Amino acid sequence: MAESLSIEVAYALPHKQELVQLKLPAGCNVLQAIEASGLRQKYPEIDLTKNKVGIFGKLTKPDTPLRDHDRVEIYRPLIADPKEVRKKRAEEGKAMKKGGGEQEG
């Protein structure tokens, strides 16, 4: 087993992604990687009681042990409920189809 792990910690912002490469001791967990990354100090809005975390896009718990080459991801809370957004978009689409507008020809 490796004595140290190569880990990436990612935090996606609306216009860019922060990606921190780390070498951590074997046996460390998701929370330890996040703390070591310095992202919580750089982005104080990260609240691990609200922000979900994952490894390669799969939700996980902060105490999950890491494996070599894992990418820990810190997810931002959703601003809008995706179901509500789709519903609103569908309603707007129906309204546009009904109006039709004048065809130039």
CATH number for the domain that contains residue 92 = 3.10.20.30
The CA-based diameter of the chain, rounded to the nearest angstrom, is: 73
What residue numbers bound the domain in which 61 lies? 4-98
How far is residue 92's CA from residue 99's CA, in Å, rounded to a whole number?
Answer: 11
Instruction: Report yes or no on 32 lying in a domain.
Output: yes
Q: How many domains does the chain have?
A: 1
What pLDDT score was predicted for residue 52?
Answer: 95
pLDDT digit string, tens, across residues 2-41? 589 999 999 998 889 999 999 999 999 999 999 999 999 9
Q: Inform me whether the pLDDT recorded for 103 exceeds 60.
A: no
Q: Which of 4-8, 66-70, 73-77 has the lowest mean pLDDT?
A: 73-77
Q: Is residue 24 part of a domain?
A: yes
Report yes or no on 12 lying in a domain. Answer: yes
Nearest to 7 by CA among 46, 65, 52, 51: 65
Domain-located, residue 105: no
Q: Mean pLDDT over all residues of the chain?
A: 87
State residue 37's pLDDT score.
98
Residue 66 within any structural domain of the chain: yes
Does residue 44 sit within a domain? yes
